[in-house]
C-alpha cells in the first residue's frame, strides 16, 4: 500500500463549549437525521462502552440516490475519537482531537484520511475541494446544538429531567458541571435501535 494513495485534509476550529459537550455531540446519534440534511437514516447495530458500529443512509447530490455507509467509532482516549467508514468503496479514517482551552471552550482538530487506490485516485481533486465544504456545512449545523447545550448545562440542566423548577437554581454556574460518559443513554423507543440486526442489550431511558 502506497502512502501517496492517501488523501489527508486537516481542519482546526475553536468553539465556545467545553470538551465534554463537544464529545457528547459526536456521540449523540439521536440528532443525526434531524439536524443534518445529508443523513436520511442511521441505525446502530452495536455499541458498548467506548465503541459503536452504525450504518448510515446518506443522501448525495443526485436525485433519488442514497449511499449506505458502515461506520465504526471508538473513543480512543479522553481527547481522541477515531471514525472509520467505507463510502462508495473508499476507506476513510477520521481522527478527532479535542483540547480544552477553558471550562467552556475547546479546540477541535479534525484530520481526514481517504485511501484512494486503483480507480479511486481520480476522485482526489474532487475530494480535496469537497471535504472542507462538507466539514463547514456539518460544523454549522452542529454549532447551535453545542452552544445551546453548554448554555443549559450552565443552568443545571439534567438529561431526561430538564431544567430545575426553581428559577434561582438556574443561575449560571461558573465551574464545569457536566462530565461526559459513555455510553450515552437513549430513549427506550429510539429510532437508532430499530434495525432487525441491532443488538439491543443496553438499558434505555423510559
All domains of the chain in start order, with CATH = 9-193 (3.30.530.20)
pLDDT for res 148: 95
> Rounded CA gap, 182 and 174, in Å?
24
pLDDT tens-digit series, residues 4-50? 899 999 999 999 999 999 999 999 999 998 899 888 889 999 998 89
> Rounded CA gap, 198 and 206, in Å?
19
Query: Pairing between strand 80-87 and 51-59?
Result: unpaired
> Rounded CA gap, 48 and 30, in Å?
16
Please, which pLDDT band fits residue 111 given cuts at 50, 70 and 90?
very high
> Rounded CA gap, 173 and 160, in Å?
20
123-128, long-range: CB < 8 A, 24+ apart: 123/90, 124/7, 127/7, 127/9, 128/7, 128/9
pLDDT for res 176: 54
Amino acid at each position: 500500500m502506497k502512502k501517496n494513495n492517501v488523501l489527508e485534509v486537516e481542519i482546526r476550529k475553536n468553539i465556545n463549549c467545553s470538551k465534554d459537550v463537544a464529545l457528547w455531540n459526536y456521540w449523540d446519534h439521536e440528532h443525526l437525521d434531524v439536524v443534518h440534511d445529508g443523513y436520511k437514516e442511521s441505525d446502530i447495530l452495536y455499541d458498548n462502552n467506548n465503541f459503536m458500529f452504525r450504518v448510515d443512509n446518506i443522501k448525495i447530490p443526485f436525485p433519488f440516490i442514497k449511499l449506505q455507509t458502515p461506520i465504526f467509532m471508538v473513543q480512543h482516549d479522553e481527547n481522541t475519537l477515531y471514525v472509520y467508514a467505507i463510502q462508495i468503496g473508499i476507506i476513510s479514517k477520521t481522527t478527532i482531537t479535542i483540547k480544552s482551552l477553558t471550562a467552556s471552550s475547546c479546540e477541535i482538530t479534525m484530520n481526514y484520511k481517504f485511501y484512494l487506490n486503483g480507480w479511486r485516485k481520480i476522485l482526489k481533486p474532487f475530494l480535496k475541494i469537497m471535504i472542507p465544504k462538507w466539514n463547514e456545512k456539518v460544523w454549522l449545523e452542529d454549532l447551535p446544538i453545542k452552544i445551546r447545550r453548554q448554555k443549559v448545562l450552565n443552568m443545571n440542566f439534567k438529561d431526561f429531567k430538564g431544567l430545575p423548577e426553581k428559577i434561582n437554581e438556574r443561575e449560571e454556574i461558573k465551574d464545569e458541571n457536566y462530565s461526559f460518559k459513555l455510553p450515552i443513554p437513549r430513549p427506550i423507543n429510539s429510532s437508532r435501535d430499530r434495525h432487525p440486526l441491532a443488538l439491543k442489550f443496553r438499558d434505555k431511558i423510559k
